[in-house]
Amino acid sequence: MPRQQSTPETRSVRLLKVGEQVRHVLSELLMRQQVHDDVLSAHSVSVTEVRMSPDLRHASVYVKPLLGADEDAVIRALRTNTAFFQREVAQRLKLKFAARIKFLPDESFDEAGRIDALLADPRVARDLDRDA
């Protein structure tokens, strides 16, 4: 049986709250440049979303560098410093278990741009005008 995709509506409030707390801690660490990494110091990185597993032991962290510049290098630098981030999140949130963090590129902005391009297509605009 295929596993159902979790949506914000199906996740518990606790998962969402803990995910937001993790997001705030990671954002603060990146904003204050507390990570001693040249790549991360040279880029502004946004933590757009954190999805926690139901047992709160795994965190999928979606990040996007400012203007999408050097995304691969930034993701590589974040993954290199994962132990530091895990330790800091565990100390600051005082959870029972330290969540294992996995950094992933946030592709929602790319998807939104693709949808905007499709809607701007003259053929689609023609169909939308006809419906109105």
Query: CB of 85 within 8 A of CB of 105?
Result: no
64 φ/ψ angles, rounded to the nearest 5 degrees: -145, 120
45-52 and 100-105 beta bridge pairing:
unpaired
**Which helix (H) or strand (E) segment is 73 a member of?**
helix 71-80
User: Where is pLDDT greater, at 18 or 115?
Assistant: 18
Residue that is written with structure tokens 């949130």 in the block: 93
Instruction: Answer with the residue of higher pLDDT: 131 or 13.
Output: 13
The span from the CA of 24 to the CA of 47, in Å, is: 8
Q: Residue 61: what pLDDT?
A: 94
Q: Examine the pLDDT at 85 and tell me if it is beyond 60.
A: yes
For residue 125, name the pLDDT band (cuts at 50, 70, 90): confident
What band does 10 get if pLDDT is binned at 50, 70 and 90?
Answer: low
Domain map of the chain by residue range?
13-106
**Topology annotation, domain 13-106:** GMP Synthetase; Chain A, domain 3 (3.30.300)
Residue 105 in this model has a pLDDT that exceeds 60: yes
